[in-house]
Structure formats: structure tokens, C-alpha cells
Amino acid sequence: MRVALDAMGGDHAPGPIVAGARQAVEDSPELTVVLVGDQARIEAELGPDAPRDRLPIVHASQCIGMDEKPVEALRKKRDNSISRCWGLMASGDVNAVVSAGHTGAMVASALFNAKMFLPGVRRPGIAAFYPSHQGPIVIIDVGANMNAKAEDLYQYGIMGAIYAEEILGVTEPKIGLLNVGAEEEKGTDLTRGTRDLYQSSTWAGRFLGNVEGRDLHEGHARVIICDGFVGNVLLKSGEGAVEFLFATLKQELARLMPDLPGDAGPKMATALKGLKARFEYEEFGGGPLLGIKGACIICHGSSGSRAIRNALKIAGTMASERLSARIVEHLAALPSARSD
């Protein structure tokens, strides 16, 4: 399995990106990670003892900064690391792409080449994981498509459900539509149109209808669908809330520690650390871009080596499993429902 890794993508690249690649190939003997970016800087991070046969380098003289406009940057910087990664997958040299770089540039680079779409897919969507009492749930879309149509959300639910089955091992996951109320008449033209498509389809039995934001953590719906604007706000609000919660708990624990009997303090600290791990994005590495040929994981900009290692592993699993084949199979069986 060969995965192209944007070694220049991320807030602290290339250090933790290259370190994560080394960890991934050490953990997975069948994995080869193609490091794409500034060869001299990558070489310096790899060191002399790296397994170069499984960590080859493809030089890219440019990279796209987080503050750049994605489409403009892609056109001006033709030899950027993101485009080179996608080019490797389009040519069949790699099976998957991973980047912690500019999300907009990652999506735009895929959209520039419609041949990268799976047959039947209207627009790819980014999925993300969210904690619930039932285990991780999949939220899609969290940033790829800000101007979604009803058919996009319809397809996102199906792709998200197949992903939950194949990668998370969830049996027949239910699909919920993120909305401002549970009543059918609530929402916008987009949400009402999406609900109508589901209710008249063969997926009606898997569709739970509207789900409010406060109910996500219950996990009754293991797949939540929304447009990219709403999903991105939800995801980042959740990340901020978790950081705030655990920072506050840490402060309170430090204040109480002197008054706790025996080893109660260390035990509580260990429990909180385990609890936080359930919320950390690094466990899954990043969010998959669903609806494309091959596999793509888009990581958080602040990803460390652990997140990159896990993202590479999941990307390899996505590319080797029957995920894409199942998505094509199910979308081909759907009646035309285009709404653009």
C-alpha cells in the first residue's frame, strides 16, 4: 500500500509530519509513505537511519500557506506539495493521499479534476468523528461543500453510512439530519428537500429524520448529515468546548489535590486523561474526503506525529477495503434525484 503524504502541510511541518510517517511504516510493514515536499528539509528530518525504500521522497518546490486563497494559490504555485500528491494518485503511483495542510486547497485540487470523483458522486464531502454514548459517530460534511444541494446531503448520508460500516464496524448505522428541531416542518429548503429524498428512497428505513445538536452525543444516529458551513462550525465549536472543559477540570483538580486522601488525586488525573482521549481528533488522524477514487485523509493543521501516523494507517485501510466499490454500487442503484 502506497500513500502520498504532504510533508509540508501543517502548522509545524515538516518535523512532526515526517516523524508520523516513520512511526506509521514501523507499525505497518505493508505500508510505503511517499513524502512530498522540499527534499532538503525532509532529508534533514528523516535522518540517516530511516528506511528510505519505504519512505521515498518526491520533491515539490512550493507549498500553500494556510492564509492563502486556495484556488488562486493552486494556479500560481503549480509545483506545490498538495497538487503533487493528487497527481501521484491520479497517475496510480499511490493509493491514497494524506495532508495536514490547507483544507480548501486539498478539496479544490480534487475538484479541479472531475475524473477523481467516484461514478455517481455529485460533490465529495469531508467526514469527521464525533463522540457519543454509542461510540464515534460520523458527521458529513464538515467543510468541503458550503453550497450543498439536497442531493449532496442525500449522498453524504449513504457514503457516511458505508464508511461507518467498513471502518468503524457499525452494523446498519442510522442516518440523522442536523436541524433546528425534530419536527418535520422545521428547517430550510435544503433540509426539507433532503428529508423528502430520504423518505421516498430505499434508505428510508435507515433515516431517523431531524436531529438537534444537543442530541448528537446520544448516538442514536451514527451518521449525521449537514452542509459544509454548518458542519465546520459544529466541529470547531466542539473542539473548543472540549479544550475549555478539560482546561477547567485541570485547574479544579490542581486546586483540590492537596485535600484529596491517599492516591485519589493521581487516580482522578488518570481517569480524566482517559476520558480526554475519547474526544481527541488525533485518535483518528483526520477526516476522510469521501466520494473520490482512492482515499484521502485531511488532518488538523496542528496535527502531531501521532495524528499523522493514525491518518496514514486509516488511509491505507480505506484504500485496501471495499469502501469505494460499495459507494459506487449503492449510488448506482439510486434513482436520479439531481437538484442543481
- Provide the pLDDT for residue 139: 97
Q: What is the mean pLDDT of residues 158-173?
A: 94
Query: Is residue 109's pLDDT more than 50?
Result: yes
Q: Does 178 reside within a domain? A: no
Q: Which domain holds residue 79?
A: 1-121+291-340
Give residue 272's pLDDT band: very low, low, confident or very high (50, 70, 90).
Answer: low
Query: Is residue 115's pLDDT more than 90?
Result: no
Q: Does 141 reside within a domain? A: no
**pTM higher than 0.85 for the full model?**
yes
Angle CA 334–336–340, to nearest 5:
130
Q: Bridge-partner residues for 207, per DSSP?
A: 175
Question: pLDDT tens digits for 35-55?
Answer: 999 999 999 999 888 999 999
Query: Is residue 338's pLDDT more than 50?
Result: no
- Provide the pLDDT for residue 240: 86
Q: Does 155 reside within a domain? A: no
**Cell numbers that stand for 66 in this block:** 494556510
Residues whose CB falls within 8 Å of the CB of residue 75, separated by 6 or more in sequence, listed in order: none
Higher pLDDT, 317 or 171: 171
User: Per the structure, how many domains does the chain have?
Assistant: 1
Angle of the 15-27 helix axis to the 305-320 helix axis, nearest 10: 50
Q: Does 330 reside within a domain? A: yes
Give residue 195's pLDDT band: very low, low, confident or very high (50, 70, 90).
Answer: very high
Q: Does 262 reside within a domain? A: no
- Provide the pLDDT for residue 271: 64
- Provide the pLDDT for residue 16: 96
- Provide the pLDDT for residue 317: 86
**Which of 32-41, 113-122, 230-239 has the highest mean predicted lDDT (pLDDT)?**
32-41
CA distance 127 to 167: 12
Of the candidates 54, 137, 136, the one whose C-alpha atom is nearest the C-alpha of residue 94 is 54
Q: Does 246 reside within a domain? A: no
Residues whose CB falls within 8 Å of the CB of residue 107, separated by 6 or more in sequence, listed in order: 70, 124, 126, 143, 144, 289, 298
Q: What is the CATH number of the domain that holds 302?
A: 3.40.718.10
Torsion sign across C-alpha atoms 163, 168, 170, 174? negative
Counting every residue written for the chain, the total comes to 340
Q: Does 310 reside within a domain? A: yes
Residue 261: Cβ within 10 Å count:
6
Residue with cell string 491517599: 262
Q: Does 189 reside within a domain? A: no
Give residue 276's pLDDT band: very low, low, confident or very high (50, 70, 90).
Answer: low
Residues whose CB falls within 8 Å of the CB of residue 244, separated by 6 or more in sequence, listed in order: none
